Chains A and B, each alone.
Chain A
Amino acid sequence: MDRTLVDFVKVLRTAELKVSPAETLDAMQCMDLVGYEDRLYLKNSLALVLAKNPEEKDTFEICFEKFFTAEKHKAIRNTSAEDQSNDDLFDDEADFQPDGKGEQSGSGGGQGGGQGTCPQEGGVLDTSLEATSELGILLTQGSRTEQTISMMEAGREVEVNQIVVFTQKGLFTRKIMDAMGLKGLQEEISELQKKGPAEEKALANQLKKARDELRERVRDYVEKQFFLHADETGKQLREELLKKVKLSNLEKRNFKDVQQVVYKMAKKLIAIHSKRRKTYKRGQLDIRKTLRNNMQYDGMFFDLRWKSKKVDRPKVMCVCDVSGSVSNYSRFLLMFLYSLSDILPKVRSFAFSSDLGEVTKLFEQSELEDAISRTMRDYGNGSTDYGRMLQDFKSHCMDDVNNKTTIIILGDARNNYGEPQDHILREMYDKAKRVIWLNPEPRSSWTVGDAEMKKYAPACHQTEVCHSLAHLERVVANLLKTVS
């Protein structure tokens, strides 16, 4: 039973429930206490221990149903197939099916000791011949339960829960069949067919039929395992991939996935940094608190208390190049920054290809996706002119820049051989707390062709290559560290 529980926890984890080992132990205790006769009761109990917020409860519900129905299904089927069953088996069943309705939670209880009870007498076939291979015996004489148990054991042996992509389904089906002793059965069948007499042929046919039936069932079983284990694992793999891929190579159909990944990353960052912000700087003396705290020292002021003063929240100005070559990067940077609005409330954003425009309002008023696509539409065409952008910045918002402002510029600095106006950037550098330049191109090409990075770089506190989500995350995390 413990093993089943651990498997179940694994399934929960792939479904992105954070289940700690301690909670697994709790769940085991809980199972000892509750037993597994009553399915609903078990579900309620495990939900209390393993799922710790409303969303997790929903996921838990789905996983529980999927994981334990598979077992239930089999239990019902085997009762119908068991008209000629023996006492031995009934005892075995009674252990986990006391109400006899098949409404049991049992994850195929008694997986361990099934095979030993295989009855040697009590033939299923009318023929006087007996199958001799191991699998043949099981198929002709064993009950449905035993076959299932044997199948699941084989499944464990070949580690079917490691299945990742759907193309592996066939492979695992075959592996399980092999592990169950398919080879022996095949040999027996072909031997029987060679011999000729009708009786033996009949047995061979029977075995063949049983084999095909078993294959069907194994396929079914693998399918279910795939939905339990791989669906989510595959998703995780894809997400990992998305984090590393070059943003400009992403296609439209991937945007949705990427957005989810961005939200997830942002959530993680929020969790880390919202706590950090709590450390206050010490401010004025708090007389009331000090008095109260020092009463224990007979009114002598040993332990001074301060009125906490919150650190000013950082101001971030984000200037994004939205011309064709780098628009994708800007899209995701903006997405990232606005997903962080909980801890970065004062983001002002600007977009340009030649003329600079502020898009902060747009992002405040409309949905993120809308805002992004509208920004791209309004500012995205035209050839890039960094000099013009810097001039615009100077005339519009240089006054708002102070020593708490962090300015992020995202662009490839390809200026089409125009006037770079790098002295304005220098001015920004002097006024702002930090100027960070994110460039999606590799460092080696920063000075090639019409790129002006060579001139801009000295006027930045920091320059970074930034062409994947992983990079973006690192940059934003660093940003949060330095601005707060």
Chain B
Amino acid sequence: MSAKNEKKLASVEVIQQNFEELNYICNLQIATAVFLAYHLDKPILIEGPPGVGKTELAKTAAEMLNLECIRLQCYEGLDESKAIYEWKYGKQLLYTQVLKETLGEILDGAKGLTESVTKLHEFGDIFFSDEFLEPRPLLKALRKEEGCVLLIDEVDKSDHEFESLLLEMLSDFQVSIPEIGTIKANEKRKPLVFLTSNNTREISDALKRRCLHLYIPFPDAALERRIVQARVPEISEKLRNQMVAFIQELRDMDLKKVPAISETIDWARTLILLHTESLDADLVRQTLNVILKFQEDIETAEAELQNVTNKAIKEA
């Protein structure tokens, strides 16, 4: 990464500041993780409940460093042909068809099978060369001369086999392609790798060992207020405090899925659209479906709505 980026990652405080300029408010742990990841050349494995800004962190890091963000979305059945590379079969077929006649000319005059094959060998493995290689995200990331941010999203959704596939990439920043050989990342500008996981299953120890492990929990009230302020600056301070207090209360309730930061932000936008000045129980009831995504959760919350709203208003 260029000297400019070097400066941007000079210390934890600088990183925190730079993130803040891009409207990503982060705590010390997160900034420390990015700092260490860059200086130790290690991937970061980010875990935490959905909607706390795991993916956003990678995107913001890319934006801050002015690098391309290459994203690999994981899902069950993802394999190397979609993650690392694939041969362009169509092109290979087309070329063999087109070159059929040329082949005839080349082989003209060759006697016997051995001689023809020897002649063909002179041309090397043209059909398995770079021109016919379709790079997928991992390979693309390694080949970026100027470095990049690689986001491997929701690793926990992929199979065990894929996890093992990632190991080479994560520890040595290289992948092996049988036909071509080993491709390594630029020594000085290795990609900055982020992996995210929603904890639907335990990630293997081998993978964890190679990563820094960052756990992003739900933010506390003060941090959440700052986040809302950064993301939805047009919201009034009073309303902001009220809604954050309300959300914090909700998180203590026994819900199937508690509202995350992304929901708080959505809700803030909704309230702005509705020209709200201050929270009240009716308004909350009408907009509850923005923050709660299960009918049973909505029912649970509605029972306590008056109480919680009053409490939130008082607290703010």
Contacts and interface: CB of A to CB of B under 8 A. Distances in A.
Nearest to A295: B89
B212 A49 contact: yes
A25 to B, nearest CB: 11
Contacts of A26: 40, 42
A53 B213 contact: yes
B39 A33 contact: yes
Interface in A33-54: 33-34, 40-41, 44-45, 47-49, 51-54
A48 B47 contact: no
Interface residues of B, number: 26
B290 interface: no
Nearest to A33: B39
B39 A48 contact: no
B9 to A, nearest CB: 12
Contacts of A29: 40
A33 B40 contact: yes
Interface stretch (A16-24, A240-248, A365-373, A454-462): A16-24
Contacts of B285: none
A20 B29 contact: no
A48 B28 contact: no
Contacts of A44: 28-29, 32
B162 interface: no
Given A52-B213, A53-B213, A54-B215, A41 B160 contact: no
Contacts, number: 57
B214 interface: yes
Given A26-B40, A33-B36, A18 B205 contact: yes
B160 A278 contact: yes
Contact of B47 (A22, A33, A54, A271): A54
A40 B28 contact: yes
Interface string B15-29: 000000000000011
A contact patch SS: helix
B39 A52 contact: no
A41 B208 contact: no
Interface in B213-246: 213-215
A164 interface: no
A158 interface: no
Nearest to A50: B213
B209 A41 contact: no
Contact of B209 (A23, A40, A53, A296): A23
Contact of A52 (B42, B89, B160, B208): B208
Contacts of A278: 160
A278 B40 CA distance: 35
A275 B202 CA distance: 12
**How many A residues are at the interface, by size bracket?**
20 to 34
Nearest to B33: A48
Interface in A95-147: none
B29 A30 contact: no
A275 B160 contact: yes
B213 A48 contact: yes
A34 B36 CA distance: 9
A212 interface: no
- Most chain B beta carbons < 10 A, residue from A48, A295, A296: A48
Given A33-B36, A275-B160, A298-B93, A48 B209 contact: no
B12 interface: yes
B308 to A, nearest CB: 27
Nearest to A270: B202
Contacts of A18: 205
Nearest to B89: A295
Contacts of A33: 36, 39-40
Interface string B227-268: 000000000000000000000000000000000000000000
Contacts of B42: 26
Contact of B12 (A41, A271, A296, A298): A41
Given A33-B39, A44-B28, A53-B47, A20 B209 contact: yes
Nearest to A40: B28
Contacts of B33: 48
B85 interface: no
Given A20-B209, A53-B213, A278-B160, A48 B89 contact: no
Interface in B1-53: 12, 28-29, 32-33, 36, 39-40, 42, 44-45, 47
B213 A51 contact: yes
A295 B89 CA distance: 6
Contact of B36 (A30, A57, A295): A30
A47 B33 CA distance: 10
Contacts of A34: 36
A47 B29 contact: yes
B87 A296 contact: yes
A367 B96 CA distance: 67
Contacts of A54: 47, 215
Contacts of B28: 40-41, 44
A48 B160 contact: no
A289 to B, nearest CB: 10
Interface of A: 18, 20, 22-23, 26, 29-30, 33-34, 40-41, 44-45, 47-49, 51-54, 57, 271, 275, 278, 295-296, 298
Given A41-B12, A41-B32, A45-B32, 10 more contacts: A30-B36, A34-B36, A44-B32, A48-B29, A49-B212, A51-B213, A53-B202, A53-B215, A278-B160, A296-B89
The 10 closest A-B pairs by CB, nearest first: A48-B212, A52-B213, A295-B89, A44-B32, A52-B208, A44-B29, A54-B215, A33-B39, A48-B33, A45-B32
9 contacts: A29-B40, A30-B40, A33-B36, A44-B29, A44-B32, A49-B36, A52-B209, A52-B213, A54-B47
